[in-house]
Amino acid sequence: EVQLVESGGGLVKPGGSLRLSCAASGFTFSSYSMNWVRQAPGKGLEWVSSISSSSSYIYYADSVKGRFTISRDNAKNSLYLQMNSLRAEDTAVYYCARQIGSYFDPWGQGTLVTVSS
């Protein structure tokens, strides 16, 4: 079964840092681009970042550029999101998702990040 499991969310103060992880199983992780998508409470989906299979191509939403860093470890079947200089508006559930062409499937269950003092 193809599965993605996020971890690392929690409560952090404004200006703080957090590292999210996404563990993949059930497919050849190293063959796919991976993405992070977030959803603020009561809001819609917002694409955050994408990384190609070999990490050659990396893209970010303007809202996180310069603060967030996406990375992956194909040997560990894992995707990461290092989040620095966190702001209240970064509060959201963060989902990792496998990218196939221009669509995302599957999605993980999400991990909640709360930025508050």
Partner 1 sequence: QSVLTQPPSVSAAPGQKVTISCSGSSSNIGNNYVSWYQQLPGTAPKLLIYDNNKRPSGIPDRFSGSKSGTSATLGITGLQTGDEADYYCGTWDSSLSVGVFGGGTKLTVL
Q: Which stretch binds partner 1 (CB under 8 A): 20-28, 45-53, 70-78, 79-87?
A: 45-53
Q: Toward partner 1, which CB reaches closer, 1 or 117?
A: 1
Is-contact 58 47, C-beta < 8 A? no
Among 51, 86, 108, 113, binds partner 1 (CB under 8 A): 108
Stretch in the footprint of partner 1 (CB under 8 A) among 8-16, 19-27, 57-65, 67-75: 57-65
Sign of the C-alpha dihedral computed for residues 106, 36, 75 and 23 taken in this order: negative
Question: What is the distance between the alpha carbons of residues 78 and 4, in angstroms, rounded to a whole number?
Answer: 9
- Alpha-carbon Rg for the chain in angstroms: 13
Task: Specify the residue, 80 or 95, whose C-beta has the smaller distance to partner 1.
Answer: 95
* Dist CA 15 CA 31 (whole Å): 35
Does 101 engage in binding with partner 1 (CB under 8 A)?
A: yes
State in angstroms the smallest separation of the CB of 95 from partner 1: 6
